[in-house]
Amino acid sequence: MLVLALTQQIILIPLFLRYWSGDTLSAWLTIFAAGNLVLVGDAGLHGWSLNRFLSFKSRDDRDRRTRRYYGAAFRLFAWLTALLVALVLILFVLIAPSHALGFSGQPGFDLAFMLMTLGMILTLPANLASSLYRAGGLYGRVVGVQAWGTAVGQLGQIVGVIATGSLLAVVVAYVAGQLATAAFIMFADVRQQFPVIGGGARPRLSLRWTLGQFVGAFPFAVMNFAEVGLTYVSVLLIGVFVSDRIAIAQWGLTRTIASLLRGLCTQMTLPLAAELGHDHAIGARDSLRGLYARGSVVLILFVSVVTSGTLAFWRDFFEIWTHGAIAYNATLAIVLLLGTCIAAPAILALSYANYSDRGPLLLRTKSLQVAIFLLLSLLLIPIMGPLGAAIALVSSDVIAQLGILFTIIVIETLNRPLRHVALLFAIMLTVVPLGAGLGALLGHLLPGTGMAHFLGECTLWLIAVALLSTPLASRAFRERLIAVIPS
C-alpha cells in the first residue's frame, strides 16, 4: 500500500500535468481531499469496533459475541451510510461545490466532486470488516486486497487521463477501484476469512445500544478527524479563503512529502502498538517499558534520517516532479518537514493509546488539536495562504499531541521519562542537521543538473549514510546501545 500511495500522490502527478493545467490539478487535489475526508465519516466506529473485537478474545463465548456484534454493527454502518448519502445530496442541492471552492470555470467539477464523495461514503461499511481483520491478526490480508483495488484504480486513472484528458474520467476510475475493493471485502472475503460471522438470527438495533456505540466511538471519531481529516480540511480551507487556485496545488504537493513521512512512521508503529496493547492488557510492565523505549528510539532515528535527506533533496525533486509548473515554496516545505519530525515521538504514543483503549485521553487531546488547528487556520490562511495552513497544522500537532498526549503516555509508561525524551531530541538535533548538511554538500560538489544530478546526489548520500550506519550491523554494538536506552 505504501508503494501505491507513492504512486497515487507522487508518480501520477507528472502524468497529470502533461494533460492538465495547474488549475485542473488543483481541482483534482481538492476533490481527492474531499473524498479522503469522507473516510472519517464513520463517526469513529472503526476504532471502536476494533477494540470491541479485541475485548471478545478473552471471553469463553467470543465466537458468539463476535458474530452478534458484527451483524448488529454492520446494520449500524449501513444506516449511517444511507444517512450520510442523503445529507450530502441535500448539500449538493443547496450549495454548488464549484462556487464554494472557487472552481466555477472547471468543466464537470460538481459532478466529479459528487461522484467522489458519494462513492467514498459507500465504502464506509468496509471499515467494520477491516477492524475484524486487524483484531484477528489478518491485517496484511485486507491491506493486500485493498492494494489490488488501488492498483486497478490507478491503472484506470492513467488510461482515463491519456485517453480523454478528463478530470471526470480520473475520478470515476479512482472511485470504481475503491468501491470494487470495498464490495469484495464486505460481501465475499470477510465471510471466507471469518466463517464465524455467518448465520444466526438477525440482530435488532435498540436505541440504547446504538447510542452506546456512538458514545464509545466518539473519542475515536475525534482522533480520526485530527489525524486524517485536518490535512484534507486544510485543502478545502485554502480553496475557500485563497483566490489563487495554484496555491491549492502548491499546498497539496508540498504536504504530500510530510504526509508520506508521517504515514511511514504510523505504519512502523502499528505492529509495535499491537504488542504494547497486549502487554498493557496482561499487565506485563517490564516488557511494556522496554518495548516502548526501544521502539521510540528506532522510530526517531528513522524519521530523523528521512527528514534530513528530504530537506536536502526535496527542492530538486519538486522542480523535476512538477516540470516547473508549480512554484516551489522552501519555507512551506521546511515548516512541514521539521514539524513532522519534531512531533514524531507522539506517533507511537498515539498508536499505543489507540490499542490500549485510552478513549478519554484521546478525546481530550484530539479535541484540543482540532480546536487549535481550526482557530489558527481561520486566522492565518486568509493572510498567509498555504504557509498559514502549515503553521496551523504543525502547531496543533506539537501542542496537543506532543505536548499533552505524548507527555502523559511516556510518564505513565516509563520509569525515566525525562532521560528518554532528552535522548529522543538529542538524536533529532544530531541526525537532522548532519544529514541535511551532508546532502547540501554533495549537491553542491556534484556537477550537472536535472534528473542525473538528482539521482547522483541521492545515491552518494545513501552510500554515505550506509557507511556511517555500519556499526549497527554488529549485534554486540546494538545490544550495548539498547542497554543504555532509558526506560
> Residue 243 in 3-state DSSP?
coil
Q: What angle do CA 440, 446, 452 make, to 5 degrees?
A: 105
425-446 pLDDT, tens digit per residue, is 999 999 999 999 998 898 888 8
Residue 294, pLDDT score: 87
Query: With bands split at pLDDT 50, 70 and 90, how would you rate the model's confidence at 16?
Result: confident
User: For the chain, which residues make up each domain, given as ranges?
Assistant: 1-205, 216-487
Residue 355, pLDDT score: 75
138-177 pLDDT, tens digit per residue, is 777 777 788 888 888 888 889 989 988 889 999 999 999 8
Residue 199, pLDDT score: 64
The closest of 337, 316, 331, 257 to 461, measured between CA atoms, is 316
Those residues with Cβ within 8 angstroms of residue 7's Cβ, 6 or more apart along the chain or in another chain: 154
- CA dist., res. 169 & res. 50, Å (int): 35
- On whether the CB atoms of residues 200 and 67 are closer than 8 A, the answer is yes
290-304 pLDDT, tens digit per residue, is 888 888 899 999 999
Those residues with Cβ within 8 angstroms of residue 360's Cβ, 6 or more apart along the chain or in another chain: 219
- Three cell numbers at 283? 499487565
Q: To the nearest whole number, what is the mean pLDDT of the chain?
A: 84
Residue 137, pLDDT score: 75
Residue 287, pLDDT score: 79
The 3-state DSSP composition of the chain as helix, strand, coil percent (nearest 5) reads 85, 0, 15
Query: With bands split at pLDDT 50, 70 and 90, how would you rate the model's confidence at 114?
Result: very high
Q: Given a cut of 90, is residue 338 above it in pLDDT?
A: yes
